[in-house]
Amino acid sequence: MRFTDFTHHDLLLLLQGLGVSVALFAATTAIGLAIGLSWAMLRYYRTPLLAPMAALLAELLKNSPVLVQLFLVFFGLPVLLQTDLTPVEAALITLSGNTAAFVYVIAVSAIESVGREQLETARVFGLSRWQTLRRVVAPQAAAFGFGPLTGLLVNQLQVTSLISVIGVVDLTKVGAILNVRTLKPFIVWTVIGLLYYLLARLIAASCARWEARLRAHSQWKGL
């Protein structure tokens, strides 16, 4: 039997899909930031072998379609490793890696935006490479990189909608389910689109506040 009208259960289904999307976005953002910044540190310290490998991996991930990466992880990785992956695990691996690649690019660009004269001055005053990174480079790089990072996070939120194709019941998948059941695509996809929009605005507003604080802190320090 096919229902052609909305019920109060649909709201619960929407909230469940929204929760899955937000949780995966938060988890992949945290993991991607950690990995991407680690790769950037390998480049900053010019670590032999590891730094070029990180750069190559980032190049591959950021220049290939996320959907292809998702299929490769979900369908190819289990065959290669002789193991099983759930749709959520495949989504977590794929989106974390893709986020890490772009975080790496942003972090490297932000670090390189710090003037060379400041690095030389820090060296003259006897600061180690770690002290220079922590006291001189990191505060300025964070302020420079926050704008591009905001754009990346908003984009990665939209990218999470792709995980519905491998069976993850996220917000987009819930929209597809409701669309098939109610046959009211305009209403369903308008609501889904508005929810993504509100989430994106929330992310952008939160990042703008943090960026303002970072820039104020850098100016106060005289950096």
| 109-146: pLDDT as tens digits | 988 887 777 777 777 777 777 777 777 777 778 878 88
Q: What is the pTM of this model?
A: 0.87
The structural domains of the chain, ordered by start, are: 8-220 (1.10.3720.10)
Tokens representing residue 75 in the block: 């369908």
- Taking the alpha carbons of 193, 199, 204, 208 in that order, is the dihedral positive or negative? positive
Q: What is the 3-state secondary structure (H, E, C) of 6-20?
A: CCHHHHHHHHHHHHH
What whole-number distance in Å separates Cα of residue 148 and Cα of residue 152?
6
Task: Report pLDDT digits (tens) over 79-90.
Answer: 998 888 999 999
CA dihedral 7, 23, 175, 12 (to 10 degrees): 0
d(CA 27, CA 37): 16
Q: Is 181's pLDDT higher than 60?
A: yes
Q: Distance between CA atoms of 212 and 215, rounded to whole angstroms?
A: 5
